[in-house]
Structure 1
Amino acid sequence: MTPEAFRGFMSSYFTGVTIITSIDGDERPHGLTCNSLTSVTLDPPTLLVCLDIRSGTLAAVSGRGEFTVNLLDEGAQSTAELFASPKSDRFDQVTWRRTALTGLPWLIEDAFAVAECQVTETLVVGDHAVLFGRVMNVQAGPGNPLLYGMGAFSGGRPRPVPAS
């Protein structure tokens, strides 16, 4: 199995697009685009995300012990691309505010929902860390999710319910 073959296989799977954020010890915001998000359990409410072990965002999350999951709205493709880039001034190019509970970055114009999470466990697998986060607070508004698959972004619109 080659990395290219595995990447090709996974690219055919559509997934929601998120931006994981945190704040480092110097109060600087960090964030990256992530589509590795999975619900783990409802009791206690727990999810997992996978972050590259070389990322500054992982270092900030590890230092603070908390992170947010920003669920991107379908109109936020440019923000997803920005946070997937190596640019260091990402937060200067978006509107964000601190969340109510943890004070972590919420991309209020690009994310239709945000979850504030406390890291409960970290497991390193290859070049990524799997972070288990206990969800402490969720805020959500109207919106349609941004999706990614087959090498392209698309919007996730609800399907109409057929008339009976």
Structure 2
Amino acid sequence: MTDASIVVPQSVAPEAFRTLMSEFPTGVAVVMTYDRAGRPWGMTCSSLCSLSVTPPTLLVCLRRQSPTLAALLQTGTFAVNLLHGDARAVGELFSSGAADRFDRVSWRWGGGGPHVGQDTHAIADCRVVRTADGGTHVIVFGEVFAVTTAPGRSPLLYGRQRYSTWSDN
């Protein structure tokens, strides 16, 4: 085979890609931060993964036009609130873009960003160590500097366009 015969495949259509990714269930997280004026910002995020144990680093992918991303980049810190199985309403609220979302949930100040502790099974406070271009999203690398857990709470999961929880069995 010569180089001239190599065919580069075309990308699938966005709808086909969305269908593929709906088949991959994921935990539901709300990424939260403050802006320079101390106002809270947050959005639901399912694009989250661990990257490294040393240093403890995770990455989140946030929509490029998101005001939460803009605030996060201003302050350089954020909190990843991993929602528990009874917190579906919080996940939906923070994906809605409702301007009053912080008035509709109980939250407290955290080291990296707001914590919605009663709605989580774990929280990671992070500092931004770098970003990368992700097309329609920005990949944010966060070094974890604090972890809070609430044992006994099952994670909220999302896949196939529906919510579920992780069974303890």
TM over 0.5: yes
Deviation at 1:158, TM superposition (A): 2.2
Alignment partner, residue 157 of structure 2:
147
What TM-score, normalized by structure 2, do the two folds share?
0.91
TM-score by length of 1: 0.93
Runs of 5+ in structure 1 lacking a partner?
Answer: 160-164
Deviations 1:130-157 (A, max 9, x none): 0000000001012110000000000112
1:60-99 correspondence runs (5 A): 60-99=71-110
How many Å separate the matches in 1 of 2:97 and 2:56? 32
Identity of aligned residues (%): 45
Match of 1:114 among 110, 123, 144: 123
| Structural mapping, 1:5-154, within 5 Å | 5-99=16-110, 101-102=111-112, 104-142=113-151, 143-154=153-164
List 4+ stretches of structure 1 deviating above 4 A. Answer: none
SS in structure 1 of the partner of residue 93 of structure 2: helix
Residues matched between the structures, number: 157
Equivalent position of 1:162 in the other structure:
none
- How many Å separate the matches in 2 of 1:19 and 1:157? 21
Report the Cα offset of residue 25 of structure 1.
1.1
Q: Give the greater-gyration-radius structure (CA).
A: 2
